[in-house]
Amino acid sequence: MKFGVLVFPGSNCDRDVAYVTRDILKQPTRMVWHEETDISDLDVVVIPGGFSYGDYLRCGAIARFSPVMQATVEHANKGKLVLGICNGFQVLTEAGLLPGALVRNRGLHFVCDRISLRVERTNLPWTQLYQKGEVITLPIAHGEGNYYADADTLAQLEDSDRVLFRYQGENPNGSLNNIAGICNIKGNVLGMMPHPERASDSMLGSTDGLKLFEGLLKVAVAAMV
């Protein structure tokens, strides 16, 4: 399975993701500059956290127009896997690959902490190695992580079981329905504010995030059988 990690001017978690996919999982990984247009060699596209240029207007508002994002939309429409983490989640909503928006945190403060999440659905590649209802701990670091959607969109997300992760206990940013991560209808696009890559190595104190990446390898193995 080949991973591609998008790199925008301002990205700062791209190497963290590559460390997990390349060094821990031992999978081919390519850093993809935001001006590239050909990502046909990739199985999984990861839009990492950090920042993307133009965030001062609205997070992800300019990055969504990058050539690589047009290619990422095509990649997703073919049913291939796309993961957006933190700023990557914001870019996915701006690009229309996921509904809703990420707005300023309740209280208007940047939040950097470890937070408990409940896994809501486990029949997708991203979460298949977790148990339904399992509570895991992942780091967060964001100023605009407050998930918002209108009532109809929110109802559609809930009715179609597209909320994969919820904040358990404390809601750190005011997200509606405690939403921490959602997927598209097909389930091949996931956006989440917490950072699984920062909890994928025991040296960092937790491997709760590693199962998310390992689940993708299970899909690759199944496809080869």
The pLDDT value recorded for residue 222 is: 64
Domains belonging to the chain, first-starting first, are: 3-224 (3.40.50.880)
Per-residue model confidence as pLDDT tens digits over 169-191: 989 999 999 999 999 999 999 99
Q: Which pLDDT score, from 0 to 100, does residue 64 have?
A: 87
- Asked whether the predicted pLDDT for residue 225 surpasses 50, the reply is no
Mean per-residue pLDDT, 134-142 = 96
The DSSP secondary structure of the chain, one letter per residue, reads --EEEEE-TTB-SHHHHHIIIIIIS---EEEEETT----TT-SEEEE-SB--TTTTTSTTTTGGGSHHHHHHHHHHHTT-EEEEETHHHHHHHHTTSSSSEEEPPTTS--EEEEEEEEE---SSTTTTTSPTT-EEEEEEEESS-EEE--HHHHHHHHHTT-EEEEE-S--SS--GGGEEEEE-SSS-EEEESS-GGGGSBGGGTB-TTHHHHHHHHHHHHHHH-
What is the set of active-site residues? 86, 195, 197
State the pLDDT at residue 223: 58
* Residue 16 pLDDT greater than 80, yes or no: yes
| Averaged pLDDT, 126-145 | 96
Answer whether residue 73 shows pLDDT above 70.
yes
pTM beyond 0.75: the answer is yes
Task: Check residues 156 and 58 and name the one with the higher pLDDT.
Answer: 156
Predicted confidence band of residue 221 (pLDDT cuts 50, 70, 90):
low
